[in-house]
Amino acid sequence: MEWEIVNSKAVTPQGVMENATIRIKDGRISSISSGIPKDVLPIRINLRGNFVYPGLINAHDHLLGTYLPKVGTNRPYLNWLPWDNDLKSSVVYAERQQLEPEQLYLLGSYKNLISGVTSVLDHIPHFVQKPFLDRSPVRILERFTLSHSICSYSLGWGDGPQIEYARAKEGNLPFVTHISEGFDEESKNALKELNSLGCLGENTVLVHGIAFDGEDIKTVSKTKANLVWCPESNLFMFGRTAPIREILEAGINVSLGTDSPMSGSINIFQEIKSAREFFAKEYGKELDPKIVFKMVTENPAKALRVENDLGKLEIGKKADLLVLSSEKEDAYQTLCSADLKSVRLVVKDGKPSYGDLSLKDFFDETGVTGREIKIAGTDKYLAGDPLGLLESVTRALGYKKDLAFFPVG
């Protein structure tokens, strides 16, 4: 299948291309050029000057934990474990347990999709996520090795850091682990412990890093490890987050992740806003919108070892696209101020997944079936059967649950 976008503003690695035409063939970007070509493809979408970005990448989520409200009875916590204990003993957790894992995975996938995310790193053992990979409307990145964390009270994910890290190096995979998620001695020493095991390098993806000190930052920079920053979750649970200015100044590759809605953001747009608000309050200056853009595109693509396919608008890469409307002239400011109403179209693997209801003919032409739906008060068309999903959730719970991350109606 071949189709094209015309009259767009394409946010490419070289900058914003005005009056851009993007051609898609067999799920990949076949060309990007300025102006409208003389030959016309059978399927053409005129974006009327809207911005086109690569599909966003959420570098840290727990899709099985997609539920609300947040849990945090005894904040601030010393580390993640007492929060987990509060979670498991909460009424909202008992309510969530009435849903099937497939329902939670679909809710988490739609939560990401409607905010422009086309790829998600779902940090959980593979046997948990495997049944849902093919049914998810977003791409759940499955090629990674993992630990839960580096402490005596870590959950038993994987076969141990050293074995998992060796597999990552051998297979060109990311090795993903929570790190320094708290302020007890084990959390403070977690990076040093991981380094002593020989598990720090370009394949290492460290999530959180709240307790990093100056020596930790130097170590991460020297080993070329990657960091995923989740400020919303960190600030909610601990009242603090990673020393992000120093981390960025050290040249560390930083990505953004939402974490689960039960502690973190309801979507990537909220995470972006939380990151910028924290940075401005903590350091008295703006976090550069171009840096933020990279944190949700090319940086996670590099960290998660998928940069050959994702993270940039370039010829040959997968056609994952996000189209945003805005009155702003700057593409990066537009992304940083975006909300659910800003999203005009989301494309994954060269096919529309979500967009304005006015684009329904485009969905039909590309063979994508979905449902008419109202998101945040705007008429949309969403692939799959989201209304059937919500009806099944209502049946399971016995009442209609309002979920801010999927605001239907």
pLDDT of residue 37: 87
Rg from Cα positions in the chain? 21
CA-wise closest residue to 137 among 69, 63, 68: 63
Q: Both 89 and 232 in a single domain?
A: yes
The neighbour count for residue 331, using CB atoms within 10 Å, is 21
For residue 69, is the peptide bond before it cis, meaning its omega torsion is within 30 degrees of 0?
yes
Please give the mean pLDDT across all residues of the chain. 97
Rounded to 5 degrees, what are φ and ψ at 74?
-115, 40
Residues written for the chain: 409
Q: What percent of the chain has pLDDT over 90?
A: 98
SS3 of residue 394 by DSSP: helix
Instruction: Provide the pLDDT confidence category of residue 40 given band limits of 50, 70 and 90.
Output: confident
* End residue of a domain, out of 276, 304, 332: 304
Report CA torsion sign: 353, 290, 142, 403.
negative
Taking residues 379-398, what's their average pLDDT? 98
* End residue of a domain, out of 257, 289, 304: 304
Dist. CA 282–CA 234, nearest whole Å: 14
Q: Is the pLDDT of residue 409 over 90?
A: no
- Residues 238-285: tens digit of each pLDDT: 999 999 999 999 999 999 999 999 999 999 999 999 999 999 999 999
How many structural domains does the chain have? Answer: 2
pLDDT of residue 38: 83
In a domain, 271, yes or no: yes
pLDDT of residue 149: 98
Residue 392 belongs to domain with CATH number = 2.30.40.10
Q: Both 241 and 176 in a single domain?
A: yes
Instruction: Provide the pLDDT confidence category of residue 219 given band limits of 50, 70 and 90.
Output: very high
Q: Are strands 343-348 and 321-324 parallel, antiparallel or unpaired?
A: antiparallel
Q: What percent of the chain has pLDDT over 70?
A: 100
Say if residues 64 and 54 touch (Cβ distance below 8 Å).
no
* Assigned token pair, 89: 């003993």
For residue 76, is the peptide bond before it cis, meaning its omega torsion is within 30 degrees of 0?
yes
- Residue 63, judged by CB atoms within 10 A of its CB (0-12, 13-18, 19+), counts as buried
Q: Both 32 and 120 in a single domain?
A: no
Say if residues 46 and 85 touch (Cβ distance below 8 Å).
no
Dist. CA 238–CA 64, nearest whole Å: 22
pLDDT of residue 304: 98
Q: Both 61 and 51 in a single domain?
A: no
pLDDT of residue 104: 98
Taking residues 215-219, what's their average pLDDT? 98
CA-wise closest residue to 263 among 399, 101, 77: 77
Q: Is the pLDDT of residue 5 over 90?
A: yes
Q: Is the pLDDT of residue 57 over 90?
A: yes
Q: Both 45 and 62 in a single domain?
A: no
pLDDT of residue 361: 96
pLDDT of residue 285: 97
- Residues 288-340: tens digit of each pLDDT: 999 999 999 999 999 999 999 999 999 999 999 999 998 889 999 999 999 99
Identify the domain containing residue 17 by its residue range.
2-55+310-397
